[in-house]
Amino acid sequence: MFARVQTFRIPGFYPFALFAAAALLCSPVKVTGQVAAQDTTFVWDASDPRVGLAPGWHDAGSAIKNLELVGKLPRPEGFVDPEFPGAFPFANTDLAFQGDLVFVGNFNGFQVFDISDPEEPKFRVGVVCPGGQGDVSVYGDLLFTSVEEARGRNDCGIEGVQDTVSAERFRGVRIFDISNIEEPKQVALVQTCRGSHTHTLVTSPNDEENVWIYVSGAAGVRSPSELEGCIREGPEEDPNTARFRIEVIRVPLNAPETAAVVTEPRIFSDPETGEIAGLWRGGNHGEGTQGTAVTDHCHDITVFPELGLAAGACSGNGILLDISDPENPTRIEEVSDPNFAYWHSATFSNDGSKVVFTDEWGGGTAPRCRATDPPTWGADAIFELADGELTLAGYYKLPVPQESTENCVAHNGSLVPVPGRDIKAQAWYQGGLSVFDFTDPANPEEIAFFDRGPLDEAQLMLGGYWSTYWFDGYIYGAEIARGLDIFELVASEHLSENEIAAAKLAQYGEFNTQAQTRVTWPAAVPVARSYLDQMGRNQGIDPVRANAVETVLGQIETGGAEGLETQLVELAEALDGDARAIEQAAEKGDARRLRLLATTLREMAGQ
Partner 1 sequence: MKVCSKTGFPDFPKTESLMKKQPLRTGAVACLLFLAMTACATPQASTPPPPPQESAGDRAETLDSPRVLQPGAPGEPSQSVEVSQLANQAHRPHTPADVEFMQGMIPHHAQALDMAALVEERTQNRDIHLLAKRIEISQRDEIELMGRWLAHRGEDVPGEHAHHMMGDHLMPGMLTEADMAELAAGHDSEFDRLFLEHMIRHHEGAIVMVKALFASPGAGQETDMFTFASHVEADQLIEIRRMKEMLDNRR
Q: Which of residues 179-238 bind partner 1 (CB under 8 A)?
A: 180, 182-189, 197, 218-220, 234
# binding residues, partner 1 (CB under 8 A): 93
Q: Which is nearer to partner 1, 126 or 419 (CB)?
A: 126
- Measured from the Cβ of residue 273, the count of other Cβ atoms closer than 10 Å reads 9
- Measured from the Cβ of residue 180, the count of other Cβ atoms closer than 10 Å reads 10
Query: Which span (88-96, 206-214, 509-517, 545-553) binds partner 1, by CB under 8 A?
Result: 88-96
Residue ranges in 449-560 assigned as alpha helix (H): 497-505, 525-537, 543-557
The β-bridge relationship of strands 412-415 and 309-314 is unpaired
The pattern of x and - marking residues 250 through 289 that bind partner 1 according to CB under 8 A reads: -------x-----------------------xxxx--x--
Q: Which of residues 353-392 bind partner 1 (CB under 8 A)?
A: 360, 362-367
Q: Which is nearer to partner 1, 287 or 389 (CB)?
A: 287
C-alpha 56/C-alpha 74 separation (Å) is 14
Side chain identity, residue 274: G
Q: Binding residue for partner 1 (CB under 8 A) from 27, 66, 93, 534?
A: 93
**What is the DSSP code (8-state) at residue 38?**
G
Q: Which of residues 431-470 bind partner 1 (CB under 8 A)?
A: 456, 459-462, 466
Q: Is residue 159 at the binding interface for partner 1, with CB under 8 A as the rule? A: yes
Q: Which of residues 15-54 bind partner 1 (CB under 8 A)?
A: 15-22
Q: Binding residue for partner 1 (CB under 8 A) from 4, 122, 537, 588?
A: 122
Q: Is residue 149 at the binding interface for partner 1, with CB under 8 A as the rule? A: yes
Smallest separation, CB 15 to partner 1 (Å):
6
**What is the DSSP code (8-state) at residue 408?**
B
Q: Are 512 and 201 in contact (CB under 8 A)?
A: yes
The pattern of x and - marking residues 286 through 325 that bind partner 1 according to CB under 8 A reads: -x---x-xx----x--------------------------
Q: Which of 196, 160, 193, 189 is CA-nearest to residue 174? A: 189
Q: Is residue 57 at the binding interface for partner 1, with CB under 8 A as the rule? A: no
Q: Is residue 240 at the binding interface for partner 1, with CB under 8 A as the rule? A: no
What b/e string do you get for 488-501 counting C-beta neighbours within 10 Å, with b at 16 or more? bbeeeebbbebbbb
Q: Which is nearer to partner 1, 195 or 375 (CB)?
A: 195
Smallest separation, CB 175 to partner 1 (Å):
8
C-alpha 525/C-alpha 418 separation (Å) is 13
Non-local (6+) Cβ contacts of 458 within 8 A are 405
C-alpha 368/C-alpha 580 separation (Å) is 46
Smallest separation, CB 238 to partner 1 (Å):
14
Non-local (6+) Cβ contacts of 117 within 8 A are 71
Q: Binding residue for partner 1 (CB under 8 A) from 12, 78, 274, 388?
A: 78
Q: Which is nearer to partner 1, 8 or 88 (CB)?
A: 88
Smallest separation, CB 121 to partner 1 (Å):
11
Q: Is residue 493 at the binding interface for partner 1, with CB under 8 A as the rule? A: no
Q: From residue 453, give the alpha-carbon distance in Å to each of 369, 405, 407, 441, 461.
A: 13, 9, 11, 30, 12
Q: Which is nearer to partner 1, 222 or 529 (CB)?
A: 222
Q: Which of residues 580-599 bind partner 1 (CB under 8 A)?
A: none
Smallest separation, CB 370 to partner 1 (Å):
12
CA contacts within 13 A on the Cβ side of 220: 5
Q: Which of residues 503-562 bind partner 1 (CB under 8 A)?
A: none
Smallest separation, CB 390 to partner 1 (Å):
23
Residue 96 phi, psi dihedral angles, 5° rounding:
-140, 155
Q: Is residue 114 at the binding interface for partner 1, with CB under 8 A as the rule? A: yes
The β-bridge relationship of strands 465-471 and 474-479 is antiparallel
Smallest separation, CB 342 to partner 1 (Å):
6
Phi-psi region of 442 (alpha: psi -120 to 50; beta: other; left: phi over 0): alpha
Q: Which of residues 323-342 bind partner 1 (CB under 8 A)?
A: 342
Torsion angle, alpha carbons of 271, 274, 275, 277, to 10: 50
Side chain identity, residue 486: I
Q: Binding residue for partner 1 (CB under 8 A) from 158, 260, 386, 442?
A: 158
Smallest separation, CB 344 to partner 1 (Å):
8
Q: Which is nearer to partner 1, 271 or 363 (CB)?
A: 363
C-alpha 297/C-alpha 292 separation (Å) is 13
Q: Are 222 and 171 in contact (CB under 8 A)?
A: yes
Q: Are 342 and 197 in contact (CB under 8 A)?
A: no
Q: Which of residues 340-359 bind partner 1 (CB under 8 A)?
A: 342, 344
Q: Which is nearer to partner 1, 133 or 530 (CB)?
A: 133
Smallest separation, CB 8 to partner 1 (Å):
21
Instruction: Give helix then strand counts, H and E, for the chain.
Output: 5, 35
Smallest separation, CB 74 to partner 1 (Å):
10
Q: Which of residues 402-421 bind partner 1 (CB under 8 A)?
A: 407
Q: Is residue 125 at the binding interface for partner 1, with CB under 8 A as the rule? A: yes
DSSP 133-177: EEEEEEETTEEEEEE-STT-BTT--SS---SSS-TTB--EEEEEE
Write the burial class of residue 357 (CB in 10 Å: 0-12 exposed, 13-18 middle, 19+ buried): buried
Q: Which is nearer to partner 1, 409 or 549 (CB)?
A: 409
Q: Which is nearer to partner 1, 105 or 417 (CB)?
A: 105
Q: Which of 258, 153, 158, 142 is CA-nearest to residue 203? A: 142
Q: Binding residue for partner 1 (CB under 8 A) from 49, 61, 76, 577?
A: 76
Q: Which is nearer to partner 1, 133 or 137 (CB)?
A: 133
**What is the DSSP code (8-state) at residue 428?**
B
Smallest separation, CB 440 to partner 1 (Å):
31
Query: Which span (144-152, 415-423, 532-540, 549-557) binds partner 1, by CB under 8 A?
Result: 144-152
Q: Which is nearer to partner 1, 314 or 447 (CB)?
A: 314
Phi-psi region of 109 (alpha: psi -120 to 50; beta: other; left: phi over 0): left
Smallest separation, CB 381 to partner 1 (Å):
17
C-alpha 218/C-alpha 199 separation (Å) is 11
